[in-house]
Each structure stands twice: as C-alpha cells, then as structure tokens.
Structure 1
Amino acid sequence: MRPPQTQIERYCRAGLWGTETIDSRFRANVAQVPDRLALVDAPNRESFTDGAPRRLSYAELDRAVDRVAALIRARGVAPGDIVVYQLPNIVESVIVLLACARAGAVASPLLVQFDTNEIGFVIDKLKPRLFIGGRFKKRDLADNVAALCDAAGCALVRVEDLLIGEDEPRTVAPSGRDADDVATICWTSGTEGRPKGVMRTPNNWFVTGRNMIHGAALRDGEVILNIRPLVNMAAIGGSFMSWLGTASTLVLHHPLDIGLVVRQIREERVTVTFMPPAFFVSLLKDEEMRAEADLSSLRLMGTGSAAIPAWAIDGIEREFGIEIINFFGSNEGTSLLSTPREVPDPAMRATLFPRFGRAEFDWPTFAPAHDFTTHLVDPDSGEEIVEPKRAGELRIAGPGIFVGYFGEPEMTGAAFDEQGRYRTGDLFEIAGEGELSRFYRFVGRCKDIIIRGGLKIAPAELDDLIAGFDDAVEAAFFGCDDDRLGEIVGVAVVPKPGRTVTLDDVIAYLKSRHVAVYKLPQAFLLLDALPRNALMKVQRDRLRELARAGQTGEEKRC
C-alpha cells in the first residue's frame, strides 16, 4: 500500500514530498510547545457520549498517545495492520488517530451515523485487526458491531477501556513505516453503490496541510474550532492537518449546534473555523443570536460543501470583519480554494475558484499553486476544453491525490485517465473572457452523488436496498435542493397497483435494513413511472426538477 516508486522519486526530487510522518510532526510540536493547550472537548460532551470534557496540553496529549499506541500493539496490532474506529468528535478520536500513526497502524475512522449495513461492508472489505467503539447519544457503537467483529475475528474494545491502564507499557518500538506508507483509509460514497476506501499517505496529507496553511495564511498557535466529523478530508485535511502544521489548539464540537458554536468561539477565543453555509445564513438571519455573538477573536472562516449565498459572505465580512474562504475538495485529493487575496469580490468568491495548476497563470500569494495541474476535459470526447462557458470534467494530477481505493484495483484504474490525472466527476467551466478566464466556475456533477451537509451519499446504494420493498414496483433516490444542507435525499416511488406508499413507509423499510440515518429520504415523489432515457437509465436530474417544481406527493418534506 504505497504509491509507485517512480512517483515517490519524482515528487521527492521536486521537494513536494519528504520524510516527515504524522507522528514525527506531532513529536516536534510536543518538543517545541509542551505546555501549549492542544485539545479541547466540547462543553456538552456528557450529553452525547461518556466522560467529562477534557483539556490536554501537548505534553499530556503525547503521554496519552504513547499509552494508547502501546495498548493497540498489546491487542495484536502489528505495523501495517488496520484499526477501524467509530467515535464522535472527542479528544479520544484525535488520540486514536495519533496513536495509530505512532504504532504504525492504518487508521480507518467511520461516521458515527454508520449502522451495521455500512460497517459490515467495511469490516468485510478491510479485515481489520481491531475495532474501537464508543457511545453516541443513545447508541452504543461498540455493542452495535459486536456480532460483526466476532464473525470477522476482529478484536473489539471500548474507547474507555483502551484509554485506561496506567500500569501498562507507554512506549512502542518504531514501526518501520514511513511517509509513503498508507496512513489512513477514509470512506467516500461510490457512484455504483457501496462506499470506497480512499487510501492516503502522510505525504498526501501534508500536501493538503500546506495548501490549507498557505492558502488560508494560518499562523503558529491558532485556535481552530472543528465541527466536521473527524473521518475524512473536510476535518482531517482541513482542521487536523492545519492544527498539526501550526502547533495550534484544536477545539472540538459535536453534534452541530449553532448556538454552542457561538459560545465556543467566545469562550475559547477561536481564531479559525470551517463552517457549513448554514451557519452564515443562520447567524445573519437570527437577530438575537447575532446581537449576542462575540466573534472578535475570529479572523477567518472557511466554508464549502454547498452553494454559498454571496450576500452571506459579504454580510459576515462587512459586519464582523472576518475573512471568508470558499473550499472545494474531496477525499481523493481535489483541492480548490478561493480567498480574498485572489478573489476580493464576495459575490465572485461564492462561485469562482482560481485556476491553480495552470502554467499560464501566476498566483504569487498562494505558494502551492504549482504543486499540481488542473484541466477541463469533455467527458464524452476526451477533448481538453480551453474556451469559456463550456462545461467539462475537472481532472487533477499532483502530490495530494490519493493512492487508490482499498482492494479495488479496477475502480482505482478507472478513477484516472490515460495521462494519470484523477477524474473528479465534477463539472466546471472557464468563467469567461479576459480577467474571468483566470477562474473556474462549478457547474454540477457528472456523478450521481448527493451531498447532504458535506456527507456524500450514493443513490445507487439506496436503489439496491429499496429493491426489496414489496409495496413498490420501482423506486429511485435523488438529490433534492435544500437551503440549509445544500441537498437532502429524495425518493421517487411507483407503487404497486392497489397499494398506498408514504415517505414514512420508505423510511421504516430502510431503518429495518440498518441504513445510516443521514441517508434517509426527506423528500417524496409519488409517480406512475420513473423517467428514463433511451438506455433505460433513471433520469435523476428529471426527478430533481420535479421536486423543484413542487410536483411531489403530499409527503414531501424538504
């Protein structure tokens, strides 16, 4: 599980990859600022999981990482083995990630929303040596997977058991693994159904970290508030790598509560955070919250995953003096960002991204601009698009792109074109002539992926699950517009003659299949037949149009 040697040598010669690992970077921070506050739990921790809120300095965190790394090894995990864990955003989620790096294990974090439908697939695919679970609200995440782990021969421990044992060894022998060995396997929705395990090395992650630090002009000792689940690019690449690269303080938050976000910003003197567009809109529309908010410490907010109203960016910058950066990324390594230095106009920054990775454009304020190349390609003809206002698939090559999908060589091969560029599946266009030719504008997706509040959902997976629903002749899932989350899941159902089907019926059936709650539909279409093209493929865009036009069943809940 390493990149090709030729790629390693090429990027090392260019100075884009090196020998630093996640553990060596963390150890350097400990040596430099041992007494600096490193990690802070959310004050409401006891309302959603076990244990009182904790605050750890770098030295205290280092001792916890030592202890957990030793305990992971003691439970039979050898360097290169896989550890799967399912934890909310608590200090232990960071400790386990760092402990895996120290022990030489491959970390594979899962969303707390995953149920046995998704977890069973992950365990069967990865064959992990160890599964670590905790509690989230009323769900005991460890008990939930006990039967799956037992059947797979995977050791199962509760996070609270892993973190005790003061008398056990606190050090581990060096793992022998380096910056080009796979460090993490994060899960992203596959267009054909089941999730895909995205493999990334420390060098991949450090490229993302550099992009964040340079692009957002981050400083030593920031106070970073993280509200995204610490399981994929948004939080690991955005918050964790920014924290690691600047020896900062990481303040954790879970689950999303905008009132609590405002409180944490005030009490912890947060300087940087990454928020969904819903936060901006809610803050500006809620007069009472806006009046009480003390955002004087906050100088930068990043956002993404859904369309951002230009008026919201303008309102936050004008009223609070906070710099807004628009991000566009993926687990595989897509990495675009739009900052006030490249795009001063908030209206433009809401929709446009600098064409980084193009030799014809110079972006002196963004050092990593030449780390990678970007191209727009006609998805049908393969022709490169160079003229404005013509949509094409964004393809990227560079040192931040992932190694491949775990156990899926054919899928990995299909993810790259003949030139070795990653096929993002995202449609962009050159924004216009003249000065606008320096920018990309997002158009849509060529993949049938629903992005609900930043979480990716494959409608094909849900189509497969609903196939056993007896009351329907056929059904299909699709993305439905939503002001708060960007998209929600919609379902179109063709009932069997004489049967009555409601949204609640569909939800109950999916719950019986133990589907993650965020994948459950919230919009409902009752149809006589599903719209299909000449090849009999369901036209999900047409379903979205029907929902947008209000031609839905009485059960629609957008």
Structure 2
Amino acid sequence: MILHSTEALKRYTESGHWGRRTLRKMAAKAPERPAVVNPADRPDLTGTAAQSLSYRELSAAVDAIATGLLDMGLRKDESVIVQLLNVWELVAMFLVVSHAGGVLAPMPIQWRANKFQNVKKFADARFFFGMRDFKGANRLAIAEKSGFVALPIERIAEIARGAVDAARLDASVVDGNDIFTLCWSSGTEALSKGGPMSHNNWLFQMNLISQTAGLREGDRVLATAPVVDTTGVATWLASLAIGGTTLLHHSLNMPLLVKQLMQDQVHFLLLVPAVLNIILKLPNVDQLDFSGVRCIASGSAQCSRWSMGEFKRRWNIEILHTWGQTEGTAVFAGARDVPDFAKRADHFPWWGRPSVAWPSGIRGVEMTLFDEADAECTQPGQGAELVYCGPTVFAGYYRQPDLAKSTFTPDGFCRTGDFFILRDAHHIGVFDRKKDIVIRGFNLSVAKVENLVLTHPGVQEAAAVAVPDEIMREKTCIYVVPKDKAQLPTLEAVIGHLKQIGVAAYKLPEHIEYFDTIQRNPVGKILKAQLRQRVRSAAA
C-alpha cells in the first residue's frame, strides 16, 4: 500500500532519504543478544510468565506467526488490529504483519466500544488480537461485537511455535514506500484519525532518534510509552535500529521503574516531564543511582529547566527534549545540537535552516513558522504555527482526503497546529497548542505556567488552563497535585513563590484547584479538554 504522492516519492528517493529497504526483517549483528524483554510484572498483567527473546528467537517467531496469518487468509495491504500491553507479542506483531504483506494498526489498551467502531470504519480490518480480560473488560467480546475476527493474545504465542513457509513469505513483496503502521491520533478532543507511516518514514525517524540521542550499537532501551502510538513505536524502533535490547515497561509502575533504572543497565528511555518531576521529588531521591543512564528523551509537554538541570547535576544524564506528532513531524534538541541544557529546555534546532549544519548530522527536514495569513515569520520573538516538511511526514489521514487542505499547505508542508517562537537565527521553541494559550493582553503559554508552578516544593504535578474573564478576557486556573495532602500549597503560597523567583505578574495564576491525580491519555498528555470543560462549568 503506497500512499505518498508521486512528487514526494521522487523528491526523497532522489535525495537518498528513501530507498527499497524495509522493516520486514531486521538482521541482527548479534543474533544471541536479547532483542526484547518482557516487563517483570507480566505475571500480574497477563497471568503468564515474563520472558526474554533473543534476536534469533524473535526472528523465528516472526516467521512462524507471519505464516500463520497467511494461513488465515491475510491479504496484501490488509490492516490487522492489535490491542495489547507492552509485551513481546505486541513488538513482534509489527514485524509479523509487515512480513506477511499487511499493515499493523495498534490500539491503546484503554480504548473501548466507541473507539472500536471508529477504527473498524477507517481501517476496514478483519483480524483483531487482544486480551480476554483486562481491568474488567473483555476486549475480545467488544471486538467480536464490532465485527472483527477476534483472537486472544495466547494465540500469538501458539502460532509462534508453528511451521514456517519461507517460500510464501518471500513471495509477499513489500517495498520501502509501503505503509508499515497505521497509528491513531491520541484523540483527546475528538474521534481519532489514522496516521499511515511507511517503512521509509520510520527508517528516517529511527535515525533521527539514534543520532540526536547518541545511541550506540547494542544499547539497552527502556520502552515506557505504550508501543501502540507514535512515541512508543519510535522508541522501540530506535532500539531495533542499533541492534539494541528493548526492555518493556507497561503503564507507570514507579517502584518497578526505579528498580529497572538502577539494576537493568538501561542506557536510554523516554519519560514525560511529569514523571521526571515525580522522580526528583521522591523522598529517597538522594539514595538513587541512575549513573548507567546516558540519555532520557522527554516530550508531550515542555520540560522545565529545573528538572533538566537536576538530572544533569545528580546523575550526568542528558535530557533529549522532544516534540513530535502522529503525523510524523518531529524535532529533537539533544546535547550535540544544543549543548547548554538550560537553553535546551526551550530551544529546538531549526532543522533545514539554510547554511546551518547541525552536529547531529540531520538533513532533509524543513521547518518554518507561518502566521494566520500564511506569511513566514522572520524576526526573533515572533510566534506562529510550525509547518513541517521532511522524510518522516505521513501522506495524509487514512481514508480522509477531505482533511488534506487543512493538513497541508499548497507546497506540501504539514500544518502542525502547534505554536512555536522564532528564538534566534538558528533556533525555534515550542509556545503551545493554539487552544492551550491564555489570552489576556499577552498570549500566555499554559506550559510555561505549569513548569513555573512545578518549581514550588509542595507541588507534585500541575496543569493549567484558561478560564473566561469579563475584564481580562481570560485568566489562568491551575490544577495541582500536592506533594503532601496535609500541607496544601495555597494560591497565595504559589504566587509568593513565583514572585520570589522573578516571575512576571501576567504569568501568575488567579485560581487553584486540587487533584489526587491529573488525568492523562495513553501517551502522557494531560486531558486538557476535560479540565477546560470543568473550569468553564465552574465559572458559569
């Protein structure tokens, strides 16, 4: 299934960024090296034992399962749906479905009936692999009701022990421009859209991560994000690109996470900024030894300079500041391109800037900022929407051609919907989502407010949203998870702290609410739509 335009295929093939190579089977330089290691708490998650598969064992399992799919009648370019935890079967299915000539369309484990119908409509898939029971819901029953041929996770391991038909697998021709995955947008605001990514899209993305994070052959990568969305898939594929070992971690199990970082020789992982802050505020943080970790990627929200500095000071860990979307757009600020970690918190390299060569060696990506009239911003301090073009960008939302005009500019740049600021001649910085701005004379980024509030010692987590105001138009409401419920940080205390560290008056919050936890979607993004609705209802 080739979806990219003739122009894109010609452009990136001639530039050498796209080729015939695929992800069907990645040859390992060390076949006996562990390829994927199940989460240690798998027995509690699935009732089955945790295990580790070498590259040789994973390759054999992929061949057998792919043969099994062909026996079931899988057709060329047909989508296969999986809804699994971070276990080896999920990782294997990416290679399996492609090897059999299909396209994998993984779903977050949290999704229920209404999302099943949405996926069924757009993917037009027959086969579903999932869990009989997880947290009180029978995913197989929901899938069957939605019209899928539903198979349990146990079936994957069973087929993996079956016969291999190498001739039939070799007859399934897959090109580098064929679609490898169909990932779904996180869907915090509306029904999810399918983002098709080709083998070439992913191969370029894998190299972006390995180059900017400084990954080395055989590194051990801890996959903390669900390997069903772009973030989790990219983390696993970055490990595959270097012949590394992928250590799986499902959901956020803080005791297990800390144990893995201290005992499992982890070199690279991804954590959302909120988790970085949680770790730094653990009571025993001074006793933790994460010295084996070289780099942590952090995205979904803006990192704070404080957390980046603390990880560098305590354990000499570099934070790779990341920004990316399901659409394949991505930019990373690492130690090579932005060596000053304090600057790295809000500066991204302006990839594609004429006559600028980056130490990471990234080429082929073009980025610019367009205002509402689609005029290019050229002066430092200007803020506008980031538009992006490069070998990682998808061909458009799957089976939704009506969205093409709002997704792409006439010359093929992807409209990201995110505000960035032109920092200087070489750097841009995230400002915020268009809807995550407080408009009160100044356009105030709620991410900036959140990071400032997090510097208060009594705040464990923070989220900020705009609340309507008759005079100022909008004011800022903060939702806070206190570090100690017995000593709630009052609004006055938070404002006093912010004034003490020199925060401008217009950035100070005007209202505060307290939560035991802040709800997030499967990739760690705060569910801002719910918070905005809550605060607007209260204001009304």
Shorter chain as denominator, the TM-score bin is 0.7 to 0.9
Give the partner amino acid of 1:280: L
RMSD between superposed Cα atoms in Å: 2.9
Whether the 8 Å contact between 2:34 and 2:54 is mirrored in structure 1 is yes
Where 1:213 maps in the other structure, the secondary structure is helix
C-alpha displacement of 1:344: 2.7
Where 1:297 maps in the other structure, the secondary structure is coil
CA distance in 1, matches of 2:228, 2:125: 17
- The residue aligned with 2:501 is none
1:214 aligned to 194, 211, 214, which one?
211
2:163 pairs with 1:163: no
2:319 pairs with 1:324: yes
C-alpha displacement of 1:343: 2.2
CA distance in 1, matches of 2:189, 2:526: 18
2:429 pairs with 1:441: yes
- The residue aligned with 2:200 is 203
C-alpha displacement of 1:231: 1.2
C-alpha displacement of 1:129: 2.2
CA distance in 1, matches of 2:13, 2:306: 43
CA distance in 2, matches of 1:224, 1:517: 17
Paired residue total:
462
Give the partner amino acid of 1:374: M
Structure 1 residues 165 and 408 mapped into 2: Cα distance closer, same or farther (>3 Å)?
Answer: closer
1:250 aligned to 241, 246, 250, which one?
246
Whether the 8 Å contact between 2:300 and 2:525 is mirrored in structure 1 is no
Structure 1 residues 519 and 420 mapped into 2: Cα distance closer, same or farther (>3 Å)?
Answer: closer
C-alpha displacement of 1:84: 0.6
CA distance in 2, matches of 1:399, 1:445: 24
CA distance in 2, matches of 1:102, 1:121: 26
- The residue aligned with 2:56 is 59
- The residue aligned with 2:343 is 348
Where 1:332 maps in the other structure, the secondary structure is coil
Alignment of 1:409-558 (within 5 A): 409-431=401-423, 436-446=424-434
- The residue aligned with 2:263 is 267
Give the partner amino acid of 1:50: G
CA distance in 1, matches of 2:32, 2:16: 32
C-alpha displacement of 1:130: 0.6
C-alpha displacement of 1:340: 2.1
C-alpha displacement of 1:315: 0.6
Whether the 8 Å contact between 1:47 and 1:137 is mirrored in structure 2 is no
- The residue aligned with 1:489 is none
- The residue aligned with 2:468 is none
Structure 1 residues 158 and 282 mapped into 2: Cα distance closer, same or farther (>3 Å)?
Answer: same
1:333 aligned to 328, 334, 341, which one?
328
Structure 1 residues 89 and 517 mapped into 2: Cα distance closer, same or farther (>3 Å)?
Answer: closer
2:354 aligned to 355, 359, 362, which one?
359
C-alpha displacement of 1:445: 1.5
Alignment of 1:113-128 (within 5 A): 113-128=110-125
Identical amino acids, percent of aligned pairs: 30
Give the partner amino acid of 1:335: A
C-alpha displacement of 1:7: 2.0
1:441-498 residue CA offsets vs partner (Å, 9 max, x unmatched): 211122679xx99xxxxxxxxxxxxxxxxxxxxxxxxx9755679xxxxxxxxxxxxx
C-alpha displacement of 1:544: 8.8
Structure 1 residues 340 and 521 mapped into 2: Cα distance closer, same or farther (>3 Å)?
Answer: closer
CA distance in 2, matches of 1:129, 1:348: 49
CA distance in 2, matches of 1:352, 1:440: 6
Give the partner amino acid of 1:428: F
2:393 pairs with 1:401: yes
C-alpha displacement of 1:255: 1.6
Structure 1 unmatched runs, 5+? 454-478, 486-514, 526-539, 554-558
2:297 pairs with 1:299: no
Whether the 8 Å contact between 1:425 and 1:447 is mirrored in structure 2 is no
CA distance in 1, matches of 2:161, 2:119: 33
C-alpha displacement of 1:347: 2.4
2:161 pairs with 1:173: no
1:72 aligned to 44, 60, 69, which one?
69
C-alpha displacement of 1:173: 2.2
- The residue aligned with 1:373 is 366
Give the partner amino acid of 2:367: T
Structure 1 residues 518 and 280 mapped into 2: Cα distance closer, same or farther (>3 Å)?
Answer: closer
Give the partner amino acid of 2:153: V
CA distance in 2, matches of 1:79, 1:181: 11
- The residue aligned with 1:279 is 275
CA distance in 1, matches of 2:354, 2:319: 26
C-alpha displacement of 1:410: 1.3
- The residue aligned with 1:5 is 6
CA distance in 2, matches of 1:386, 1:483: 37
Whether the 8 Å contact between 1:82 and 1:128 is mirrored in structure 2 is yes
CA distance in 1, matches of 2:317, 2:523: 34
1:385 aligned to 344, 369, 377, which one?
377
Whether the 8 Å contact between 2:224 and 2:251 is mirrored in structure 1 is yes
Where 1:195 maps in the other structure, the secondary structure is coil
CA distance in 2, matches of 1:221, 1:49: 29
Alignment of 1:39-50 (within 5 A): 39-50=36-47
C-alpha displacement of 1:193: 2.9
CA distance in 2, matches of 1:136, 1:323: 36
Give the partner amino acid of 2:9: I
CA distance in 2, matches of 1:320, 1:200: 36
Whether the 8 Å contact between 2:22 and 2:174 is mirrored in structure 1 is no
CA distance in 1, matches of 2:266, 2:289: 10
Whether the 8 Å contact between 1:92 and 1:159 is mirrored in structure 2 is yes
C-alpha displacement of 1:256: 0.6
Whether the 8 Å contact between 1:79 and 1:177 is mirrored in structure 2 is no
- The residue aligned with 1:145 is 143
TM-score calculated relative to the size of structure 2: 0.80
Whether the 8 Å contact between 2:333 and 2:348 is mirrored in structure 1 is yes
Structure 1 residues 521 and 19 mapped into 2: Cα distance closer, same or farther (>3 Å)?
Answer: closer
CA distance in 2, matches of 1:245, 1:296: 24
Whether the 8 Å contact between 2:108 and 2:229 is mirrored in structure 1 is no
Q: Which range moved further: 279-288 or 51-60?
A: 279-288
Where 2:169 maps in the other structure, the secondary structure is coil
Q: Which range moved further: 83-92 or 173-182?
A: 173-182
- The residue aligned with 1:528 is none
